[in-house]
A and B are shown apart, each in its own frame.
Chain A
Amino acid sequence: GAGVSQSPSNKVTEKGKDVELRCDPISGHTALYWYRQSLGQGLEFLIYFQGNSAPDKSGLPSDRFSAERTGGSVSTLTIQRTQQEDSAVYLCASRSGTVSYEQYFGPGTRLTVT
């Protein structure tokens, strides 16, 4: 079946511009996560959505970062006024939300801020 998809695969933007990154989770998965992976660093948790509950935004590094999930499916991560330190790979993962904690990842969006 179809896995997690993300778009775009690569994004180059100028410092100060806003960007939107999209994630399509596995169909039927109720939990959705965003992570950031910087060179040489582990995966850094950003935000978590579970069903209709309020999202857990505890990992967002600043108020320039926001995310939404429409209809319990597609999610968009928005970074406003991008900075060079925002350059990283942004990964989305989904989980079935039942008993298992296994998360399934998309291919990521590589963001480069020039």
Chain B
Amino acid sequence: EDQVTQSPEALRLQEGESSSLNCSYTVSGLRGLFWYRQDPGKGPEFLFTLYSAGEEKEKERLKATLTKKESFLHITAPKPEDSATYLCAVRPMNYGGSQGNLIFGKGTKLSVKP
């Protein structure tokens, strides 16, 4: 069964303390892995798409990497405004159900204290 597991569930950091969030996935072939940021009371905001192992994407203090089994979202010198829930999702290669549908993890809630 295709599934996505994110860890940790919650992460508290001090401002400037770099860390990583993990997204492990089990899918029947990967067509894409997606990272989203979700602020309280808002919809998920698209961050990155990764398509193949070894690929990396960067945006400001965030860098996403991908292997054949997992993805990491590295946060370098985080600031309080980086506090949010980060969601990981995958699009399996041969998804028997909806075309283009994504399977989401439950997210990691990041809190960055000043």
Contacts and interface: CB of A to CB of B under 8 A. Distances in A.
6 contacts: A43-B44, A48-B99, A50-B100, A56-B99, A103-B100, A107-B43
B105 A108 contact: no
Interface of B: 4, 31-32, 34, 36, 41-46, 49, 87, 89, 91, 97-102, 104-107
Contacts, number: 70
A59 B31 CA distance: 21
A42 B99 CA distance: 19
A93 B98 CA distance: 14
A50 B98 CA distance: 10
Q: In the A-B complex, list the 5 residue pairs whose CB atoms are closest, starting with the nearest.
A: A105-B43, A56-B98, A43-B104, A48-B98, A42-B106
Contacts of A67: none
A43 B107 CA distance: 10
Nearest to A33: B101
A62 interface: no
